[in-house]
Structure 1
Amino acid sequence: MAKEIDDLHAQERTGTGKGAARHARRDGMVPGIVFGGEQDPLPINIPFNELFKRLKAGRFKSTLFNLKVDGHEDVRVICRDVQRDVVKDLPIHVDLMRLRRATRINLFIHVNVEGEEVSPGLKRGGVLNLVRPEVELVVTAGDIPDHITIDVSKLNIHDSVTISDVTLPAGAKPTIDRDFVIATLTAPSSLRSAGEDEEDEAAADEVPTTAGEEGAEKQE
């Protein structure tokens, strides 16, 4: 169940320093550096459009990439820093760290749902609310799960699924220590409206009589 890792394409950057970085930016590239592991740091340039698209997608710093640089072996990397222009807020430099297969990292893992077709709560018209479509887990870089699965086959209305109900892949654990909700099964709007009407009727029955009404009762 290993997760397919997205490729991140880059070019080796010739020259270092501010001059080379400015030249890269003029050419529509974002300069960066790849460090870590047992290799020397590698200066790179990443196409601005590709990097900007991935930044807009979100969670760039918690996503694992397969870095492809011509003339070098592919390597798994994770972002450690993105420097931005203080005025335009656009990326001007990126730091990537090489990962060994045994390295432990935090990643957001997709949540799959099974058992919806037999859930008694859903059959009654309940609504499944996926509170966390992704869950942040500590995993090893060499064995990243593609997803985790929650089972809602026995859920009734007002039931929920928490992280303690989920069988996690071997070696993975949540980044949050406490138990937390992943999904809830809420009542359909029709049942909620009926319940609200009943509460209103009960409240009306409990309205205390006024002083005038009490007097009338005594005279009778």
Structure 2
Amino acid sequence: MKQVPFTVEVRKKTGKEMAKKLRRQGLIPAILYGPQTDPLPLAAKVNELKRILQRHRGESLIFNLTVVDNGNTSQRMALIKELQYHPVTDEIIHADFYEIRMDRPVEVDVPIKVVGKAKGVEKGGLLELIMREITVSCLPNQIPDSIEVDVTELDIGDTLHVRDLTPPEGMKFVEDPDEPVVTIIEVEAESEGGEETEGESAA
């Protein structure tokens, strides 16, 4: 898992007006929290954050935060837990950072990546991905960019559940083992001509 440096500042004031003021300065409100971390309000440079996310699109990132507080700095390690976007402009308006320890497991959602072509699809079936992300527990440096799910042997009517997946070494799935991940459904062929044609024939 890649580590990226990122500098943030502690903000002393909160609220909507402060958030508007920050955004006019090219900043967004953010917060740092964790199991052993009291919530810490932050301000972050939005364009720098966007550049990092665009440069590492599709990768799992650990942010090596330099936290500036009245000229003093401290180092924190964190994951992005959530990003909030403006409903119209789709710009980032808030970021949640989750503080981690490199020697302690964390729970994160990892995208599922389907590999292979299912037997059932070759027969005309349709692959339905039910679970697009799966929650895993592992050390931060073991967080994968994705979990690959091989569907090659799946036939029409088959379903892969969480219990059918093998997690990478040092990792475990947190999801319910009975949760379905992917299935192959049968596509019913439409009758030629449809009901309207049948009605016309009967007339």
- TM bucket (normalised to shorter chain) is 0.5 to 0.7
Question: Which secondary structure state, in structure 1, belongs to the residue aligned with residue 176 of structure 2?
Answer: coil
Alpha-carbon deviations, 1:146-184, whole Å to 9, x = none? Answer: 222222222110111111111101232222234211100
SS at match of 1:142: helix
Letter in 1 for 2:175: I
**Greater shift in the superposed pair: 167-176 or 90-99:** 90-99
Provide the residue aligned with 2:45 in structure 1. Answer: 47
Question: How far apart in 2 are the matches of 1:151 and 1:82?
Answer: 30
CA distance in 2, matches of 1:112, 1:93: 28
Q: Which amino acid aligns with 1:29?
A: L
Q: What amino acid does structure 2 have at the position aligned with 1:46? A: A
Q: Equivalent residue for 1:67?
A: 64
Distance 1:162 1:94, change over 3 A: closer
Partner secondary structure for residue 164 of structure 1: helix
Write the distance in 1 (CA, Å) between the matches of 2:96 and 2:112. 29
Asked if the contact 1:102–1:142 (Cα under 8 Å) also holds between the matched residues in 2, the reply is no
State yes or no: 1:127 paired with 2:126. yes
Amino acid aligned to 2:154: L
Conserved in 2, the CA contact under 8 Å of 1:149 and 1:166? no
Does the Cα contact within 8 Å between 2:162 and 2:176 map onto a contact in 1? no
**Higher strand residue share:** 2
How big is each residue's C-alpha offset from its partner over 1:89-147, in whole Å with a ceiling of 9 and x where there is no partner? x988766343221222221112222331xx32122111111111221222221211222
User: Structure 2 unaligned runs (5+)?
Assistant: 53-59, 85-90, 195-203
Higher Cα Rg: structure 1 or 2? 1
CA deviation vs aligned residue, 1:55-77 (integer Å, no higher than 9, x gap) = xxxxxxxx754135499787530
| Preserved contact between residue 10 and residue 45 of structure 1 (Cα < 8 Å) | no
CA change 1:91–1:38 in 2 (3 A) is same
Which residue of 6, 26, 29 corresponds with 2:27? Answer: 29
The one-letter code sitting in structure 2 at the alignment partner of 1:113 is V
Structure-2-length-normalised TM-score:
0.61
Q: CA RMSD in A?
A: 4.3
TM-score (norm 1): 0.57
Q: 1:167-219 CA deviation, whole Å, 9 max, x = no partner?
A: 101232222234211100011232xx47xx9xxxxxxxxxxxxxxxxxxxxxx
The alignment-based identity, stated in percent, is 26
Match of 2:113 in 1: 112
Q: Is the 8 A contact 2:111 2:147 kept in 1?
A: yes
State the match for 1:141 in structure 2.
140
In the TM superposition, what is the alpha-carbon distance from 1:82 to its structure 2 partner?
8.5
